[in-house]
Amino acid sequence: MNNDNPGGKTEKSTDILDRKWMDINVPCRAACPIMTDIPGYIKAISDGDYETAYLINRRDNVLPSILGRICNRPCEDACRHGWDGLGEPLAICFLKRSAADYGLKEFAPDIKPNHKKVGIIGSGPAGLTAANDLALKGYDVTVYEQFEEPGGMLRFGIPRFRLPRDIVEADIKSITDLGVKIKTNTRIENVAFIKELQKRNDAIIMAGGCMLPKKLDIPGLDSQGVTWGLDFMMDANRDKLSSSMEKVVVVGGGFTSVDCTRMAHRMGAKKIALSFLFTRDDMTVGEHELDDMEAEGIDFVFLVSPVAVESKDGKVTGITFKRNSVQKDKSIKTIPGSEFTIEADTVVFAIGQEEEDYLPGKKLFAQDNFFITGDFRTGASTVIQAAADGRQIAGQVHRKLANIKEYQDVVTISEVKETGRIRDYDFIPLQPMDKIPLAERAVKEKEVDTGYSQQKSVTEAQRCYLCHYNFQIDIDRCIYCLACIDVMPVDCIKMAKDIHVTDDGNMVPVPAENWEQVQAIVIDNNKCIRCGNCVRACPVDCISISHYSLDVVEKI
């Protein structure tokens, strides 16, 4: 989709070094479990082309409106703009949301049906992604969903103030528009039912998720007022929660536990605390969410282990903890004599989920046409990881059914004249997300983040270095004038005596100690921030820019 230099040279490469270049040099994309073309869509937004940005996401991660709100963003931690001394990482997730907010359009490509049938059990992110991919390849896909609405965790596990209902519906509609059928209120109870499906379909994918809460073995669990994380969220999302809670303690440390605390705030609870076995750093939830919790007045109690639920007349009165200390091997041990009790009328245990075990010996079910994916396969994970797994398994299904020899990564390298960015963009500060005022956040339905305006999204998108550009010095034309080194903003151009290729395919220039050793002036792409200073400074125009993109191709 790159049109920076029509008529410029383009080549396709299957060289392992080019493939590795992409992983190392486009860190956001490599960090994304589903390998979204992040610079691609951010560039589109900076050009004001929201539709292209949306379509890139629709193609790469299937659920852009949803992920643009609730993804846990491993890409942002890897973002080059956030490296030491370079500022803040890009607000990649907020930009994905903008792409969906302003660019969502009908996605109806031409599909040639191949008349093969696939059945998918579960319409969570893994199941939906697998359904999407297979439908695009021409399969006749039916998804069996146990609850009354599709979406799985998306519908029931995540609160509406983070993920509004209509957003979930919009992304799912984009998949059903491809011809995917979703049968709700259909629970696959037992092995016999599965065997029946196997007969009627060319392949079955089990994407049932982890719906069972992990349990603890402590006294008092049967008191009134004790509940489990997912049940709490599902009741909340179905408006079945009672609003009589005043003092709530949530035990956990993952996404669900955080959502429970914030939901409790919206249910009117006055004192809410989140307790966790380890410390704040160990929480998998992102800083921005912890900030939102703090703003909503939620307290944190770290390094504690629950030991008992206290009750009076069968009703919860509090929860007793022991303090933990961290051992050398990073495990925790409780400190003797450190018991203390926090008062509560509601205790929510959100300590993780497990898959339902009703498929005895599910591992033995790895027959020819039975596949498993998502949390059911990997254990509880994140939405983006589940989606990535769904894609991977769908790929295996297709490979099997269409007799494909293998999938091959192909890197397309095209010459461009310029990146379209100016140096001033590198100093634009991170654009903060607008949120609704604190006073309005007690309302259950109201989405807290209001989304970037178009102008703000363009400004934020301009910050992206566009790491998919590769800057190289042509050593045959370089005159060693060092003008490029004179203008480099970071230590990115080296007088090199050699280039060392590491085991993982990374090409690193080895700096020379003196002029005699210098073989070439080399741009260290690992450090390069693609500012273009060197290109502008070079008196002999020997620095070229090429655009790298990645496709996966079927080899029959």
Partner 1 sequence: MKCVIIGAGIAGVTAAETIKKINKDIEVVLIGKEQYLPYNRYKLTEYLCNVINDSQLYFASFDFFKDYNIKYRNGEYVKSINPTEKTIKLYHNEVMRYDKLLLATGGTQHLGPVLKTFAPFIQTYYTLQDILMIKRKLSVIKDCVVYGENLSNLDLLSGLCNLGKNITYIIKGEKAFFPLLKEEFEKDVHNFLENKGINIIANDKPVCIRKEKKKYSVETLNRKVIKADIIFAWEDRKPNISFVKGADIYKKSGILVNPYMETSARDIYAAGDCTEIYHPTLKNYWINFGWPNAREQGKVAGENMAGKKVPYQIQETLTFNLEGKPIDARWWE
Partner 2 sequence: MIYKELTVRFCGIAGDGIVSSSRIVANACADAGLHVMVNDIYSAEIRGLGKSTSTIRFAGSKVYSMGDGINALVGLAQQESIDEIKDIQAEGSVIYDSSSPADIPEKESLASHIPPEINGFGIPLKTLANQASGSNRGRNIVSMGALCYLYGLPPSIFKDQIEKIFKRKGDKVVNSNLKAFDLGYEYCKAHYPLNNQFEMKTKARPLQVISGNDALAGGAMDCGLKFFAGYPITPATKIMEITAKELPKLQGWTIQVEDEIAAIGAVLGAWFAGKRAMTATSGPGLSLMSELINLSVMAEIPAVIVNVQRGGPATGLPTKVEQGDLNISLYGGAGDSPRVVMAPTDSKDCYTGIQAAFDLAEKYQTPVIFLSDLFLGQRLETEDIKHNINHKKSTRLKPTREQLNNYQRYALTEDGVSPLIVPGEEGAYYSITGLAHNTTGNPNFESKVHLAMTQKRYKKFKNMLKDLPPVEIIGDEDAEIGIASWGSTFGAIYEGMQIVREKGIKSKMIKSIMIYPQDEETFKSFFDSCKKIIVFEMNYQGQYAALLKSTYNIKPVEVHIPSVDPVSPAKVAEKIMEVSDELTQ
Q: Is 4 exposed, middle or buried (0-12, 13-18, 19+ CB in 10 A)?
A: middle
Q: Which of 7, 109, 360, 437 binds partner 1 (CB under 8 A)?
A: 437
- How far is C-alpha 368 from the chain's CA centre? 30
* Cβ–Cβ under 8 Å, residues 105 and 54: yes
- 140 by DSSP, 3-state: which? strand
* Cβ–Cβ under 8 Å, residues 117 and 139: yes
- Give the H/E segment covering residue 235: helix 229-237
Q: Is 525 in the site for partner 2 (CB under 8 A)?
A: no
Q: Which is nearer to partner 2, 507 or 537 (CB)?
A: 537
Task: Identify which of 330, 218, 219 has the alpha carbon closest to the alpha carbon of residue 282.
Answer: 330
- Give the H/E segment covering residue 57: helix 50-61
- x-marked contacts with partner 2 along 397-426 as a string, rule CB under 8 A: --------------------------x---
- Select the span of 233-241, 335-343, 369-377, 396-404 touching partner 1 (CB under 8 A): 335-343
What's the min distance (Å) between Cβ of 487 and partner 2? 4
Q: Which is nearer to partner 1, 45 or 293 (CB)?
A: 293
Q: Is 302 in the site for partner 1 (CB under 8 A)?
A: yes
Partner touching 258 among partner 1, partner 2, none, CB below 5 to 8 Å by kind = none
Q: Is 326 in the site for partner 1 (CB under 8 A)?
A: yes
Q: Which of 491, 498, 510, 551 binds partner 2 (CB under 8 A)?
A: 491
Whole-angstrom distance, CA of residue 230 vs CA of residue 267: 16
Task: Identify which of 45, 56, 82 has the alpha carbon closest to the alpha carbon of residue 451.
Answer: 45
* Cβ–Cβ under 8 Å, residues 57 and 35: no
Q: Is 447 exposed, middle or buried (0-12, 13-18, 19+ CB in 10 A)?
A: middle
Six token digits for residue 277: 């076995």
Q: Is 539 in the site for partner 2 (CB under 8 A)?
A: no
Q: Is 216 in the site for partner 1 (CB under 8 A)?
A: no
- How far is C-alpha 105 from the chain's CA centre? 22
Whole-angstrom distance, CA of residue 149 vs CA of residue 325: 44
Q: Is 486 in the site for partner 2 (CB under 8 A)?
A: yes
Interacting positions 365-394 with partner 1 (CB under 8 A): none
Q: Is 515 in the site for partner 2 (CB under 8 A)?
A: no
Q: Which residue has the tokens 């392992």?
A: 16
- x-marked contacts with partner 2 along 429-468 as a string, rule CB under 8 A: ----------------------------------------
Radius of gyration of the chain (CA): 26
Q: Which is nearer to partner 1, 73 or 137 (CB)?
A: 73
Six token digits for residue 547: 């655009």
Q: Which is nearer to partner 2, 413 or 483 (CB)?
A: 483
Q: Which of 1, 16, 335, 552 binds partner 1 (CB under 8 A)?
A: 335
What's the min distance (Å) between Cβ of 26 and partner 2? 22
- 294 by DSSP, 3-state: which? helix
Beta bridge partners of 118: 141, 203
Whole-angstrom distance, CA of residue 185 vs CA of residue 346: 30
Partner touching 302 among partner 2, partner 1, none, CB below 5 to 8 Å by kind = partner 1
Q: Which is nearer to partner 1, 252 or 374 (CB)?
A: 252
Q: Is 480 in the site for partner 2 (CB under 8 A)?
A: no
Q: Is 85 in the site for partner 2 (CB under 8 A)?
A: yes
Q: Say which residues have a Cβ less than 8 Å from residue 172's Cβ, sequence separation at least 6.
A: 123, 128, 150, 151, 182
Partner touching 396 among partner 1, partner 2, none, CB below 5 to 8 Å by kind = none
- By residue count, the chain amounts to 556
* Cβ–Cβ under 8 Å, residues 223 and 315: yes
Whole-angstrom distance, CA of residue 458 vs CA of residue 44: 9
Sheet holding 406-416: strands in order across?
10-13, 406-416, 543-555, 469-473
Q: How many residues form the binding site for partner 2 (CB under 8 A)?
A: 12
Q: Which is nearer to partner 2, 307 or 430 (CB)?
A: 430
- 302 by DSSP, 3-state: which? coil
Partner touching 335 among partner 2, partner 1, none, CB below 5 to 8 Å by kind = partner 1
Q: Is 408 in the site for partner 1 (CB under 8 A)?
A: no
Q: Which of 38, 66, 168, 488 binds partner 2 (CB under 8 A)?
A: 488
Amino acid at 272: I
Q: Is 489 in the site for partner 2 (CB under 8 A)?
A: yes
Q: Which of 402, 436, 478, 490 binds partner 2 (CB under 8 A)?
A: 490
Q: Which is nearer to partner 1, 214 or 446 (CB)?
A: 446
Task: Identify which of 471, 400, 392 has the alpha carbon closest to the alpha carbon of residue 129.
Answer: 392
Q: Which of 430, 487, 499, 512 binds partner 2 (CB under 8 A)?
A: 487
Sheet holding 226-228: strands in order across?
226-228, 346-350, 247-252, 271-275, 299-301
- Select the span of 109-117, 163-171, 407-415, 481-489 touching partner 2 (CB under 8 A): 481-489
Q: Is 329 in the site for partner 1 (CB under 8 A)?
A: no
- Select the span of 32-40, 148-156, 295-303, 485-493 touching partner 2 (CB under 8 A): 485-493
Range list of H helices, 148-201: 153-156, 165-176, 191-200
Q: Is 138 in the site for partner 2 (CB under 8 A)?
A: no
Q: Is 75 in the site for partner 1 (CB under 8 A)?
A: no
Residues that bind partner 1 (CB under 8 A): 84, 279-281, 291-292, 294-295, 302-303, 323, 325-326, 328, 335, 337-340, 432, 437-439
Residues that bind partner 2 (CB under 8 A): 85, 423, 427, 486-491, 533, 536-537
